[in-house]
Structure 1
Amino acid sequence: MARRRRRKLPSEPIEVQITDLAHDGRGVGRVEGKAVFVHGALPGETVRARVIDRARKHDEALTEEVLIASGDRVEPGCPWFDQCGGCALQHLSSEAQRAWKHKRLVDNLERIGEVSPERWLDPIADEPWHYRRRARLSARFVKGKGRVLVGFREPQGRFVADVGHCRVLHPAFSDRLESLSELLGSLSVAASVPQVEIAAGDGQAAMVLRHLEPLTPDDLMRLKSWSEAEGVAVYLQSKGPDTVHRLCPDEHQLSYRLEAHDLALNFHPQQFVQVNATVNARLIDRAIELMELQGHERVLDLFCGLGNFSLPLARRAEHVTGIEGLEDLVESARANAALNGIDNVEFEVADLTEDVRDRAWYRAGFDAVLIDPPRSGALEILPLMADCGAKRLVYVSCNPATLARDAGELVRRHGFVLRAAGIADMFPHTAHVESIALFERA
């Protein structure tokens, strides 16, 4: 593969008038007719920016000085905002962030799906700091600094940002970046640790250390001592996901509660859970509210994970069937059902890109469907949802573009009406848009 030739960068800052926000939260402007994406700039602003990369059709830049400020601009809550790519919108007020995310959903539904809901739902939101209970942090030994940097990457993505703490991370980790840096720097494999995955439950925390070289007995001792002192479980990963194992303590379990439904859900530190605990709980409540369950319904939950939606739904439906493509998640979902004494739910492993019409669980038929697909959406399985008999469909999405595409298909080809839609601010200060939509048969 041919490498892209680096273009010469201008030595002086450029002045840019910002007219819009790109999908990733960068300001958009033009200089001499060429598009410029500017990190840290907002619509309506004029900024002085430093160009950090050039391509044939656009440039990338970092804001150095705001000459004319937007009325929605606020002081970023993090002193490293300009140097860290973990957040894109700290300089935009929380209300304006949600308004922009709502607008993205509106624009995607109208432009891609050519649909619009009968009503818009109020945004789901909560405290915008210390919400992130799962994250994958980069690690890199920097010889010039004489230490290991741990955190998110810089805005241009080439280097690990040098930060002291992170206000969006869960309290179990927000002030432990320097402690992690010292720990990794003390290991014999300091230069061979590319990442650390962190996860927090309601009262527990764990990290998964990815190491490319074998650990020495002294390394293991240091990790155990750190774990005991910090109260964080340590897992190790030497190669692929199947090599992950817990180093210490001898017993440990991550879990979170959904108090409104009297549920406790256990999970492994590498398993998917929604990163924002409070917004997740409110999103579940919104989904149940939209389904209007009366207690006699059979509900299908596609991409069910470890039971995040299935188990609360089972408290209100006659029967719930949860389908997931990953066997370890299905095993966890079954264990969580047993843990909570729920027996009106079943979980099955299935590849949802294949035709599952001959499966016994599908032939049983359903009154309602909930779907929470990956970013790629659910285009391949829309016919399955349309043919299962369900009158009501709740679609939870982490990508407004694929939700819009699928919404258009459901309305024009499968006889549904888009009744309602809205956003959930799952990732404050980032450009990520979580949304939920209700479809009913016409």
Structure 2
Amino acid sequence: MKRDREAVETNGKNVQKRRKLSSKFTPTLAECGHKDLLDIEAKGLISRPRPTDAPSVELETSHGEVRPDTGRRRGQERQVFEVYVEELSSTGDGLARHPARDHVFAIPFALPGDRVNIKAFEPSEEDIWSNADFVEAIEPSELRAGTKPKCKYFAQCGGCQFQMISYDEQLKYKKTVVENAFRYFSGLDPEQVPPIGDTGASPLQYGYRTKLTPHFDGPRKGERLSVDKPPPIGFMRKGFRQTMDIESCPIATDIVQDGLRHERSKTIKKIDTYKRGATILLRETTDRTFDKGESNGGGNADSVFAKTDSPFPGGALELGSLPLQSTSQSQPPHIPEIVNNYVYKPTTDPSAPPTTIREKKLYTTENDTFATEHIGSYIFKPAPAPSSRTITPSCPHPTQPIKYLLDAYCGSGLFAITLSPLFTSVLGIELDPWGVTSARENARLNGVEHAGFIEADAAALFQDVPYPAENTVLVIDPPRKGCSTDFLKQLLRYGPARVVYVSCNVGSQARDVGCLVRGWCGEDWWKEVEGREDEGKEVGSFRYEIEELRGFDFFPQTSHVEGLCVLRRVVNEAWKEPENEPEQEQPEKQLE
């Protein structure tokens, strides 16, 4: 990639230059990331006829001087272009063509149907797409009608992309993201991919995020930070190396927003003690207790989650469906906390006393502490790794009874524990010892006795699995880069009856699922170019067919979508039993 443009001195002023990424087309799809998506989608847009109402070719510099298109040149300034947005990329950017040539601009916060002014550098001949800045909407798209962003920093802060469109449109868009990922990266024929299911909606469109990481920059060389003039504390401006001063974030939960204001105030008071920039970690943590009415308070914080002691039928607990008795919130200078009291009255026994559930919301700023999270009637204390993700999707049940659950990349045991009632035995596999320790503790907290967790060697993940493959379902939730080729080969050799693949990157998910459906995965098979025949290595007698495929929206107002793919094992028609070679006679050993 080309180096990002830094701030430079221009006419005695410090000007923040736009970050510029290389955008030359390449068939390499190893990452299945934003650049790969824009390469493919820009090339596809250029191949189609232009709309008849495309704007004028005339260009205008940022100083208002009208001049013809003379191409890119050293030291040129950004220009203003009037463009018509034709598509919405899987990255969340609007795509519009250059008025005079085959080039595509990727424009944040733009929607199909927008006619907009943008600022961008005149692209070079070899680039098929480049980034641009949204300046103003000349004719806004109909998709914007009736929707008003709730954040005053929207269209500047890089956190959200879609506060200007309805939530129904967001869900439709995310369905197309999954469709495009499997079209671009799976390498499968259309008939091998079933219709994509509707995107699973989030119960909350705002106030859902339980973690924020605001930050501030350090002083310049030879200077010090000052309490009288503190640096901006907040989040990055979209497309720039520039921190915005942001004191609230409406997609965060109430307690995290309170924590943001409180920690900003604390940090500003001691800002002169910092010699460099820093990041403030804010994570929500929740404590729950219950009182069955037998006493005036207290209660065992863990007993509400233990299946033997829980006052709720089957251990189920959905606080949103219970009446809220009271709520209280601490005020500064005290550390923020929010306390909600809910009332549960059993319907099966009208004479039983009601249960009061006390839920206290707090936040933590310590990276080495366990934040407590509640999912239904389950309690989790995830490992404190910065890269850990806590997600709560619903996994579909197999159509045939399967006895065993194998959870690879199990982390703190989310899937293994919440799905444990459906299986006779559960085993979680994790490479990180912190994850194994956390998962075992979570199983203890939730009273799950038939779940075990082991640390495995990456080269032999399934070697010690005691379950017969034909009675096992495998759940995998890998990092954004997806599964390694070695892991996929091991999976195909083991051959579990079902595979449930959860992913935070539907591009790498599509690439990996393509391997499982074909039944083989050669080294770097996705680096295919036209005319090349890739010789895949057969690895087993089974392959897979896609049973269900859909997205889940865990991050409303953003372009992110979580992918869920369920696969069932079938016979690999291309696999042949290796022939046994006749043993060669060994020469007799001569005695000395």
TM-score (norm 2): 0.61
The counterpart of 1:255, out of the listed 365, 369, 372, is 372
How far off its partner does 1:383 sit? Answer: 2.5
1:141–1:321 distance in 2 versus 1, CA, 3 Å: same
Shift in Å at residue 344 of structure 1? Answer: 0.8
Higher relative contact order (CA 8 A, sep 6+): 1
Change (3 A) 1:8 1:97: farther
For the residue of structure 2 that corresponds to 1:301, the secondary structure is: strand
Change (3 A) 1:374 1:293: farther
CA offsets 1:92-121 (integer angstroms, 9 cap, x no match): 222222211111111221232125543433
Mind listing any 5+ residue stretches in structure 1 that lack a counterpart?
205-224, 237-243, 247-252
How do 1:12-27 residues align onto structure 2 when only pairs under 5 Å count? Answer: 13-27=80-94
**Alpha-carbon distance change, 130 to 94 in structure 1, aligned in 2, over 3 angstroms:** same
Shift of 1:22: 2.9
Which amino acid in 2 is paired with 1:361?
V
Report the CA distance between 1:348 and its aligned residue: 1.1
**Paired position in structure 2 for 1:360:** 464
Letter in 1 for 2:278: P
Aligned to 1:85: 158
- Following the alignment from structure 1 to structure 2, what is the Cα–Cα distance between the partners of residues 245 and 314? 28
Unaligned runs of 5+ residues in structure 2 are 6-16, 18-73, 220-224, 289-330, 338-361, 520-541, 571-592
1:180 aligns with 2:263: yes
Alignment partner, residue 294 of structure 2 = none
In the alignment, the residues of structure 2 paired with residue 229 and residue 341 of structure 1 have an alpha-carbon distance, to the nearest angstrom, of: 33
Q: Post-superposition shift, 1:301?
A: 0.4
Shift of 1:257: 2.1
Q: Which residue of the partner structure matches residue 318 of structure 1? A: 424
Give the SS at the match of 2:248. Answer: coil
Q: Mark the CA change 1:379 to 1:151 in structure 2 (over 3 Å): closer, same or farther.
A: same
* 2:273 counterpart of 1:189: yes
Amino acid at match of 1:180: E
- 1:125 is matched with 201
Change in Cα spacing, 1:43 to 1:351, as seen in structure 2 (3 Å) is: farther
Deviations 1:72-108 (A, max 9, x none): 2232221111220011222222222221111111122
**Change over 3 Å in CA distance of 1:175–1:65 after alignment to 2:** farther
Task: Quickly say closer, same or farther: Cα 1:396–1:270, change in 2 above 3 A.
Answer: same
SS, match of residue 142 in structure 2:
coil
Offset of 1:62 from its aligned partner?
Answer: 2.4
Higher helix fraction: Structure 1 or Structure 2? 1
Distance 1:99 1:234, change over 3 A: closer
Q: What is the match of residue 577 of structure 2?
A: none
Q: Does 1:61 align with 2:145?
A: no
The one-letter code matched in structure 1 to 2:380 is L
Q: Which moved more, 1:61-70 or 1:2-11?
A: 2-11
Distance in 1 (alpha carbons) for counterparts of 2:267 and 2:121:
30
Greater Cα offset, 3-12 or 183-192: 3-12
Q: 1:52 to 1:332 in 2, by over 3 A?
A: farther
Instruction: Flag the 1:424–1:8 CA change in 2: closer, same or farther, 3 A.
Output: farther
Deviation at 1:68, TM superposition (A): 2.0
Give the one of 80, 96, 109 matched to 1:40. 109
Q: Is it true that 1:169 corresponds to 2:252 in the alignment?
A: yes
Check the 8 A contact 2:283/2:363 in 1, yes or no: no
Considering only aligned residues, what root-mean-square deviation do their CA atoms show, in Å? Answer: 3.0
Aligned pair partner of 1:264 in 354, 366, 379: 379
Is 2:494 aligned against 1:388? yes
| Residue matched to 1:369 | 474
Could you give the per-residue CA deviations for residues 226-257 of structure 1, whole angstroms, max 9, x where no partner exists? Answer: 89523556555xxxxxxx556xxxxxx52222
Distance 1:174 1:156 in 2: 24
Rounded Cα–Cα distance in structure 1 between residues aligned with 2:452 and 2:162: 41
Question: Contact between 1:9 and 1:51, CA under 8 Å: does it hold in 2?
Answer: no
| One-letter amino acid matched to 1:65 | E
Segment drifting more, 179-188 vs 403-412: 179-188
1:391-410 matches, cutoff 5 A: 391-410=497-516
Count of residue pairs brought into register by the alignment? 396
Contact preservation (8 Å) 1:166, 1:175: no
Greater mean deviation of Cα atoms: 134-143 or 373-382: 134-143
Please name the residue that 1:70 is paired with: 141
Match of 1:427 among 555, 566, 590: 555
Superposed counterparts of 1:136-175, under 5 Å? 136-140=213-217, 146-175=229-258
Cα deviation, residue 61, structure 1: 2.5
Contact 2:477/2:503 (8 A) holds in 1 = yes
* Distance in 2, Cα, partners of 1:396 & 1:4: 33
C-alpha contact 2:406 2:426 (8 A) present in aligned 1: yes
Aligned to 2:440: 334
